[in-house]
Structures are given as structure tokens and as C-alpha cells.
């Protein structure tokens, strides 16, 4: 399973950086249609909606259309156990809490990769590789 961070979804939904948008769209499409291994969390979806509204001034209908397109990815809630795990991951790796929450959620789901440009590429967090698809 591959956990997609918010920035991957934002690039897929915008043409701010066309090269990154193409890569993000291809990754998501491949996860949906070929491998069926894409995972996101409710946290990722709320961050996506917030970024699209605040940074790109997207209308609610546009954001909703994108959410519907991403919804076939496995979506998981963030539980209290995951929040507690994130506290320890934050201390263990010295990363931001919301990044630790991504790691904790991905770990809970048994993911082998976290696809993001926000964490250190080629680093592993609790056995999960960080992949920056834009490098």
C-alpha cells in the first residue's frame, strides 16, 4: 500500500506546476486503476480542501468534484490511537506533528511507502520508505 500525502492531491488538482501535476495524476490513476494500492486519510482530505480553498480560492463544487475523484482511494479515519502513536513518532524522528500523524496513519494501514515531497526522501519511518516522485 502507498500512502499519498496532501501535496500529491493538490498537484493533481491544479496546474500550478504542470510537470508535478502530470506526475501526481499518473500516480493516483495508477493506484486507482492498476495496483489498487492507494491510501489517504481524512486528515489528507481536510488539508486538501483547506489548501484548495485558501491558496487557490477554489469553489466548493470544484473541491467536491476532486474529493469525489479521490474517494475511490482507500480512505481511513484518524483514531485516538493513531494520534497517540503520532506523539511518539514526532519525538522519535523530530518531525512536525501533522507529518507524524501521516506516518502513524500509514503505519496503521500497513503501508510500505509514503508518497510526499514534505518528508525527507529516501528516509524510512518505522520501515516505510518516503518517496518524493518529483525528484
Over residues 49-60, mean pLDDT: 97
CB within 8 A of 55, min separation 6: which ones?
none
Helices (H), the chain: 6-13, 18-30, 42-54, 60-70, 80-93, 97-108
| Mean pLDDT taken over the chain | 94
Provide the CB-side half-sphere exposure for 68 (13 A, CA).
Answer: 6
Instruction: Tell me the percentage of the chain whose pLDDT exceeds 70.
Output: 100
Over residues 33-48, mean pLDDT: 92
Question: Contact, 101 vs 43, CB < 8 A?
Answer: yes
Residues 87-121 pLDDT 10s: 999 999 999 999 999 999 999 999 999 999 999 88
Q: Output the pLDDT for position 38.
A: 94
Which residues are bridge partners to 2 per DSSP? 38, 113
Q: Output the pLDDT for position 36.
A: 87
Q: Say how far apart CA 34 and CA 31 lie, in whole Å.
A: 6
Residues 113-128 pLDDT 10s: 999 999 988 899 999 9
Q: How many CB atoms lie within 10 A of CB 82?
A: 23
Domains along the chain? 2-131 (3.40.50.1010)
Amino acid at each position: 500500500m502507498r500512502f499519498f500525502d496532501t501535496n500529491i492531491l493538490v498537484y493533481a488538482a491544479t496546474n500550478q506546476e504542470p510537470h508535478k501535476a502530470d506526475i501526481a495524476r499518473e500516480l493516483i490513476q495508477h493506484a486507482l486503476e492498476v495496483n489498487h494500492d492507494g491510501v489517504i486519510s481524512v486528515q489528507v482530505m481536510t488539508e486538501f480542501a483547506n489548501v484548495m480553498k485558501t491558496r487557490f480560492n477554489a469553489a466548493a463544487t470544484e473541491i467536491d468534484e476532486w474529493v469525489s475523484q479521490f474517494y475511490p482511494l482507500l480512505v481511513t479515519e484518524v483514531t485516538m490511537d493513531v494520534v497517540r502513536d503520532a506523539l511518539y513518532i514526532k519525538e522519535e524522528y523530530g518531525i512536525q506533528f501533522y507529518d507524524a500523524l501521516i506516518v502513524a496513519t500509514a503505519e496503521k494501514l500497513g503501508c510500505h511507502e509514503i508518497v510526499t515531497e514534505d518528508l525527507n526522501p529516501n528516509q524510512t519511518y518505522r520501515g516505510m520508505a518516503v518517496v518524493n516522485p518529483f525528484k
